[in-house]
Amino acid sequence: MLRPLALALLLACAAAPEAQDRQILFPDVPGLHTMVVDLHTHTVFSDGDVWPTIRVQEARRDGLDALAITDHLELLKRAPDVPGLDRNRSAEIALEASANGVSPLLVIRGAEITREQPYGHANAVFIEDANALLLDSARDVFAEARRQGAFTFITHPAWTTQRKDAIARLTDEQRQLVADSLVQGIEVVNDQTYSDEALQLALDFGLAILGTSDLHGVADWTFHEASGGHRPVTLVLAPERSASGLRAGLDAGRTVALFKQTLIGRERDVLPLLWATLGIGRTFYNNGGISVLNVELVNRSTTPLLLENRSAYALHNGIGVITVPAEGSVVVRFKTLERVLSVPISFAVLNAVTAPGEHPVLSMEVGPGMNR
């Protein structure tokens, strides 16, 4: 018969895999920490469907390092039931909830500036007082956010409510905000949408590349996390794993969006992340004079890597596209035609994008003479 403690342990073990499976994990890169953050979420204090404590619980389950609560300043859909007159209240409730948990989660104060075009929507995060952002002129709101020390980014620039053709463009007013350093980033990914044009705008205007959930409903029901899905997030390469480190990473534009298991960012940031994520395991020839080189590829992240063989050598056990499973490994067999100590191999990473239509390429030297 099981004693109560043993039974509790058994139940804990049984419950653990589900909670672990949905965590988003990437290794650190040399000299910088990889922080997983979602800088765009709503609660019942604007037009969301959940209380702020649920946002905190979801973020913990998803393995986030930081979560911003960014309720709309100008849209209080639940006003009859949740007046929301104090625009700081949703973040305060989330901050209290995050302080009580076992695992660390940074809650960042934010607000969504919610205007018609030409200003459209934008998120100010790392603000001090959302109530002070209730101003008539949109331009004044951006200036006040800046005065409070905010990091501000344009949200969903390809949103079909404000862009019927789903092509992201910057209005003259938005360009002026960028020129005046009142906007430092742009969402390339929002909820279920990705925009090539927004990525190009980020590259052209030197803006941080962001991916966010823009959650209004329940995370599980929106992104099917219990069955292998994930919310869009931003991976921030930060000098330290803290609020100020996160802010420094954002200010430096060291960001990579993760959307439907695809990395989207500047080559400068995507390459070190991929080099940290993809490892080479055992490399060997089988006995008997066979000249097929076995190379074990190791994935240190929770995102499967989709690689296209760009080496001079064809594969013996595949046609050209290789999946390295999340937190797993795969053995790729190259036909090197003779037994050599080392060979150059290279892969295009098909689920990483560094500019519209461009995949990064990883080239390396591998061989039985190079085993550590």
In the bound state with Zn ion, the residue whose beta carbon lies nearer, of 46 and 301, is 46
Q: Which stretch binds Zn ion (CB under 5 A): 74-82, 146-154, 213-221, 228-236?
A: 213-221
Instruction: Among 62, 214, 225, 269, indicate the residue that binds Zn ion (CB under 5 A).
Output: 214
Instruction: Among 121, 146, 230, 247, indicate the residue that binds Zn ion (CB under 5 A).
Output: 121
Q: Least distance (Å) from Zn ion to the CB of residue 154?
A: 10
Helical residues (DSSP H) of the chain, grouped into ranges: 4-21, 52-61, 89-99, 138-147, 172-179, 196-205, 219-223, 243-251, 267-277
Q: Which residues of 22-36 are buried (b: 16+ CB within 10 A; e: fewer)?
A: bebebeebeebbbbb
Size of the site for Zn ion (CB under 5 A): 4
Q: Mind giving me the DSSP string for 69-82? A: E--BSS--TTTTT-
Residues 235-294 that bind Zn ion (CB under 5 A): none
Q: Least distance (Å) from Zn ion to the CB of residue 123?
A: 7
Strand order in the sheet with 292-299: 278-285, 292-299, 329-335
Does the footprint of Zn ion cover residue 87 (CB under 5 A)?
A: no
Binding to Zn ion by CB under 5 A, coded x per residue (else -) over 154-173, reads: -x------------------
Main-chain phi, psi angles of 75, to 5 degrees = -140, 100
Residue 207: closest CA among 170, 164, 167: 170
Residue 336: closest CA among 317, 313, 359: 313
Q: Least distance (Å) from Zn ion to the CB of residue 141?
A: 14
Does the footprint of Zn ion cover residue 191 (CB under 5 A)?
A: no
Q: Least distance (Å) from Zn ion to the CB of residue 41?
A: 8
Cα–Cα distances (Å) from 210 to 38, 56, 88, 287, 337, in that order, read 9, 20, 23, 49, 45
Q: Least distance (Å) from Zn ion to the CB of residue 166?
A: 15
Does the footprint of Zn ion cover residue 61 (CB under 5 A)?
A: no
In the bound state with Zn ion, the residue whose beta carbon lies nearer, of 41 and 277, is 41
Q: Least distance (Å) from Zn ion to the CB of residue 120?
A: 8
> Structure tokens of 370?
């190079």
In the bound state with Zn ion, the residue whose beta carbon lies nearer, of 207 and 345, is 207
Does the footprint of Zn ion cover residue 231 (CB under 5 A)?
A: no
Look at residue 194 and give its three-state secondary structure. strand
> In this structure, what is the dihedral angle of CA atoms 95, 96, 100, 106, given to the nearest 10 degrees?
10
Q: Least distance (Å) from Zn ion to the CB of residue 88?
A: 17
Q: Least distance (Å) from Zn ion to the CB of residue 218?
A: 16
Q: Which stretch binds Zn ion (CB under 5 A): 28-36, 44-52, 111-119, 231-239?
A: 111-119
In the bound state with Zn ion, the residue whose beta carbon lies nearer, of 211 and 360, is 211
Residue 149: CB atoms within 10 Å: 11
Q: Which stretch binds Zn ion (CB under 5 A): 14-22, 134-142, 153-161, 173-181?
A: 153-161
CA distance linking residue 355 with residue 199, whole number of Å: 7
Q: Which residues bind Zn ion (CB under 5 A)?
A: 112, 121, 155, 214
